[in-house]
């Protein structure tokens, strides 16, 4: 298997034939997935990859590995895993950062998932459910259907219509867990991890067919509380099923593509950080809230019913009124980009009446501040801040960045006095 390494926003350095194959594959993915931002542009022999990190199966013998365009540490894969999950991805135990580091994204998921699933199986055994079946057979081993038996006893008195109950590991949750194990096994590069996943895919459904049929809707269902030992593995599995693109349609023969659009991860980090910032404000005695994303009325064309709305990526409210508006920008903050983004942010903040507008970027840099001189309406201050997205760790990252955002609000929105900055 040949692997080609790439970096977001950089021209791909590869053999012309491989570059063309990669370009054509990403064009097909764009048509299939309809991402908000294109995956590729440039010439077929020198493509530039955007809005994509992880691994993509280009052909049976070619894999593209895309690293973030920021300057990440050695373990950006763990940051992606933690941001993909609704809860802590390593709920079943501590993440082994040293093992996950420097692995391709599919390998990082595979290693983590194998640990979680193996721990749950060892502790709780397979996930069993009671299944009731209506059968007709000579031995009476279940609940007799007396009415039906009385009708048929003259012809077959020895055959008993009955409802039997049995414990089975064949249910939608084990099918999903096994499917993810087999899909990751087909994609992972480490033979030992592959062997573990194949074994676990069988052990989670003992005695049943090895290739289960997956119902994608199960990823939106909560795990029954009696199976709490499987919470870690289930969170990882649903992160894969809900947020990652299993892009090929022909099964797992060529492996599972684990490639994600990274801009939603930045919005996730912002949302988590704002919730923590609101908690800090509440602890200081302020009525501060950070609600979910919402749309707000903006300009309305006179004489029509057309009323477009704006949707900021985050808002902090003081006493119910917007005090700070936030926009997540998964891009490089060049001077040209900053200028365009500032005007967009100012429009949104003005529509909300927020005194402070904040641009949030994935890189790590200290805040840059602009004052809206001469303005009589908000926003009075605009700030650009880097949140070091690829160094994020669940439970810690939102505290660090939430604290920084709260400090910005206090410093530049005159939150404590309620006056314009």
Asked whether 121 and 200 are in contact (CB, 8 A), the reply is yes
- Residue 267 pLDDT: 93
Choose between 367 and 186: higher pLDDT.
Answer: 367
Same-domain status, 85 and 58: no
CA neighbor of 274 nearest in space, from 380, 388, 392, 397: 397
Same-domain status, 108 and 154: no
Same-domain status, 85 and 227: yes
Same-domain status, 271 and 196: no
Q: How confident is the model at residue 164 (pLDDT cuts 50, 70, 90)?
A: confident
CB neighbour list of residue 245: distance below 8 Å, 6 or more residues apart: 29, 33, 257, 259, 260
pTM: 0.71
**Residue 201: which domain range?**
73-124+173-260
Res 339 pLDDT > 50: yes
Q: Which of 260, 280, 313 is the last residue of a domain?
A: 260
Is 419 part of any domain? no
Is 420 part of any domain? no
Is 111 part of any domain? yes
- Residue 71 pLDDT: 61
Same-domain status, 60 and 136: no
H or E stretch at 349: helix 335-352
Res 248 pLDDT > 60: no
Same-domain status, 291 and 379: yes
- Residue 17 pLDDT: 95
Same-domain status, 108 and 35: no
Question: Which residues are 326's β-sheet partners?
Answer: 314, 358
Res 220 pLDDT > 50: yes
Average pLDDT, the chain: 82
Same-domain status, 308 and 340: yes
Burial state string for 265-284 with b = 16 or more CB within 10 A and e = fewer than 16: bbbbbbbbbbebbbbbbeee
Same-domain status, 346 and 406: yes
Res 39 pLDDT > 60: yes
DSSP single-letter state for residue 60: T
Tens digits of residue pLDDT in 119-144: 889 888 887 766 767 888 888 777 78
What values do phi and psi take at 40, rounded to 5? -150, 145
Res 52 pLDDT > 80: yes
Tens digits of residue pLDDT in 198-214: 999 989 888 887 778 77
- Residue 101 pLDDT: 45
Mapped onto helix, strand or coil, the DSSP state of residue 150 is helix
- Residue 250 pLDDT: 32
Same-domain status, 134 and 248: no
CA neighbor of 105 nearest in space, from 278, 297, 243: 243
Same-domain status, 237 and 319: no
- Residue 34 pLDDT: 76
Q: How far from 133 is each of 101, 171, 224, 394, CA to CA, in Å?
A: 49, 14, 22, 44
Asked whether 387 and 360 are in contact (CB, 8 A), the reply is yes
Helical segments of 88-225, H only: 97-100, 105-124, 146-152, 172-187, 191-203
Is 418 part of any domain? no
Res 421 pLDDT > 50: no
Same-domain status, 277 and 403: yes
User: Domain total for the chain?
Assistant: 4
Q: How confident is the model at residue 374 (pLDDT cuts 50, 70, 90)?
A: confident
Q: How confident is the model at residue 95 (pLDDT cuts 50, 70, 90)?
A: very low
Tens digits of residue pLDDT in 165-177: 766 778 888 888 9
């Amino acid at each position: 298997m040949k692997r080609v390494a790439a970096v977001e926003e950089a021209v791909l350095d590869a053999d012309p034939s491989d570059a063309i194959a990669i370009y054509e594959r990403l064009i097909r993915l764009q048509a299939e997935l309809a991402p908000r931002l294109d995956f590729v542009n440039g010439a077929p022999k020198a493509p530039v990859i955007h809005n994509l990190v992880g691994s993509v199966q280009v052909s049976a013998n070619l894999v593209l590995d895309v690293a973030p365009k920021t300057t990440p540490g050695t373990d950006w894969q763990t940051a992606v895993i933690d941001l993909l999950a609704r809860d802590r991805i390593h709920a079943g135990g501590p993440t082994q950062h040293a093992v996950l580091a420097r692995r391709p994204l599919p390998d990082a998921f595979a290693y983590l998932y194998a640990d979680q699933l193996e721990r749950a199986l060892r502790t709780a055994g397979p996930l069993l459910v009671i299944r009731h079946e209506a059968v007709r057979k000579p031995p009476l081993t279940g609940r007799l259907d007396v009415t039906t038996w009385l009708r048929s006893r003259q012809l077959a008195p020895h055959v008993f219509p009955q409802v039997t109950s049995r414990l089975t590991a064949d249910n939608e949750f084990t099918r999903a867990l096994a499917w993810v194990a087999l899909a990751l096994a087909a994609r992972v590069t480490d033979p030992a991890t592959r062997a573990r996943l194949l074994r676990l895919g069988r052990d989670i459904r003992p005695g049943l067919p090895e290739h289960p049929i997956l119902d994608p809707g199960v990823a939106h269902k909560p795990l029954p509380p009696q199976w709490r030992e499987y919470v870690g593995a289930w969170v990882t599995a649903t992160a894969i099923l809900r947020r990652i693109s299993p892009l090929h349609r022909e099964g797992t023969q060529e492996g599972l593509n684990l490639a994600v659009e990274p801009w939603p991860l930045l919005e996730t980090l912002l949302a988590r950080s704002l919730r923590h910032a609101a908690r800090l404000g509440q602890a200081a005695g302020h009525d501060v809230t950070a609600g979910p994303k919402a749309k707000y009325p903006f300009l309305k064309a006179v004489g029509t019913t057309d009323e477009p709305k704006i949707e900021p990526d985050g808002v902090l409210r003081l006493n119910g009124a917007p005090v700070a508006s936030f926009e997540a920008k998964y891009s490089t903050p060049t001077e040209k980009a900053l200028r365009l983004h500032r005007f967009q942010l100012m429009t949104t903040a003005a529509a909300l009446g927020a005194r402070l507008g904040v641009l949030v970027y994935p890189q790590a840099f200290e805040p840059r501040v602009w004052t809206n001189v001469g303005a009589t309406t908000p926003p009075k201050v605009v700030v650009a801040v880097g949140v070091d997205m690829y160094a994020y760790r669940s439970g810690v990252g939102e505290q660090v960045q939430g604290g920084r955002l709260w400090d910005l609000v206090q410093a530049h929105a005159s939150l404590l006095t309620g006056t314009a900055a």
